[in-house]
Amino acid sequence: MTNLRYAAERLEREGVVALVEAVNSRAKPGYWTSDPVKAEHIVRRVAHPNVKLMLDIFHAQIVGGDLTRRIRDWAPIIGHVQIAQVCIHMTSTL
């Protein structure tokens, strides 16, 4: 958290916002966090107005769903929303 706070202070002087994003492990195995709840906790613990959550709808849906509640609860800390469709392959039996 110390490094992120330091970065946030430096970036703030430049007018840049730091974003924290979770990426699901199926899309990017080994990424530092695949859990959007963990990313949310990090943003809240850093508690700096220049650190925000990047909410990627695609990854958040794959990891845990419940997007309506998450968007509502996280709205104050969201700095950017990225939207992509989560597709499910289905074979018709008709």
For the chain, how many structural domains are there in total?
1
- Inside any domain, residue 19: yes
34, 71, 2, 25: CA torsion to nearest 10:
10
Mean pLDDT of 81-89: 70
Structural domain harbouring 22: 2-82
> What's the rounded Cα separation, in Å, for the pair 24 and 32?
10
> What's the rounded Cα separation, in Å, for the pair 67 and 79?
16
- Inside any domain, residue 89: no
- Inside any domain, residue 90: no
pLDDT at 72: 92
23, with CB counted inside 10 A (0-12, 13-18, 19+), is buried
How much is the CA Rg of the chain, to the nearest whole Å? Answer: 15
Q: What is the pLDDT of residues 16-70, one digit of tens each?
A: 999 998 877 777 777 677 788 889 999 999 999 999 999 888 777 777 777 889 8
pLDDT at 79: 94
pLDDT at 57: 82
Q: How confident is the model at residue 85 (pLDDT cuts 50, 70, 90)?
A: low
